[in-house]
Amino acid sequence: MDGKIIKWGILGAGWISGKFARDLAFAEGAELAAVAARSLDKAQAFAEEHGIPRAYGSYAELAMDPEIDIVYIGTIHPAHKADLLLCLNAGKAVLCEKPFTMTAAEAEEAARAAEEHGVFLMEAMWTRFLPPIRKVREWLDEGRIGEVRLVKADFGFDAGWNPEGRLLNPQLGGGTLLDAGIYPISFASFVFGEQPKRIASNVRIGETGVDEQFSLLFDYGDGKTAQLNAAVRLPIGNEAWIVGTKGRIHLSGFLNARTAELYADGEDPAVFTDDREADGYAFEAEAAMACLRAGKRQHEAMPLAETVDIMRTLDRIRADWKLTYPFE
């Protein structure tokens, strides 16, 4: 597939799929060929808005389209497992929106299906592929701030009171952990390259039974910690710090970072700035396509094993809160 135009299908015609569709226009070598929704009318409206040639009224039709090289899954959280298995069992490569699944067991099942069918599979943790985040990875690998001892990351907003909406409805996979909280938790995994040995937490469970906000303290041993906060009913902002023995790194708006600041001991501050036109979803799409062209089933920046490990960490956190999902 070296140099081949990669044909994409989008499964789900909601808000996040729309953002991905608009950004895919910035991804070199990508062609958006089809979209599927649960109704043909919705799929056709989405296709007309984004200039997509084919629209399907069922997900199975898209999974069986022989022209589609890879499927982006942008459905609601509880549907991810079934949608993943549908596409993987049809032999399609998949880029699945975060959170990858609802539980670690579901993530493990999807990973096994990808292995069984020999196809590419990756969680769409788009922040990993943003140029400022890649620059941070470079600085860390070069040891520019010494040994990392502390990560502080916050992402939270007030979505307002809508008990039937996706964020506060447990039947729709609502709550902070899977929606906003996955970002700082995945960021800590990105920095430390492992999951915490011990976890302390505080959570607010709201009227609808979902986690509306939380604070986490991850202990990795040897004095290494992560302090993480997230919310869907509290405007706590969007910022991250990485502190090492020889300096620190700052990411203002780390979720969709456009700058990264390095403050290394004995050096002038360094600022990396990304002036991209796209929101940033195009970078994960390009990374996935590079894997397809190279015949790779995973990408080293977001390997399946780490995705599964992160889901296990989420399960540990929920167990401490005694929070279960309706289907469990």
Domain segments of the chain: what residues? 6-127+281-297, 131-273
Q: Residue 234: what pLDDT?
A: 98
Q: Residue 78: what pLDDT?
A: 97
Q: Which residues of 200-210 are buried (b: 16+ CB within 10 A; e: fewer)?
A: ebebeebebbb
Q: Residue 172: what pLDDT?
A: 95
| Averaged pLDDT in 10-residue chunks for the chain of 328 residues | 86 97 96 98 98 98 98 97 98 98 98 98 98 98 98 98 96 96 98 98 98 98 98 97 98 95 96 95 98 97 98 98 94
Q: Residue 36: what pLDDT?
A: 98
Q: Residue 2: what pLDDT?
A: 63
Strand partners, 129: none
Q: Residue 4: what pLDDT?
A: 85
Residues 6+ apart with CB under 8 A from 258: 132, 273, 274, 275, 276
Q: Residue 290: what pLDDT?
A: 97
What is the identity of the amino acid at 66?
P
Residue 214 and residue 229: Cα distance in Å, rounded?
6
Domain 6-127+281-297 has CATH 3.40.50.720: yes
| Domain 131-273 CATH class label | alpha beta
The model carries a pTM of 0.97
Residue 272 and residue 267: Cα distance in Å, rounded?
15
Q: Residue 328: what pLDDT?
A: 87
Q: Could you list the active site residues? A: 98
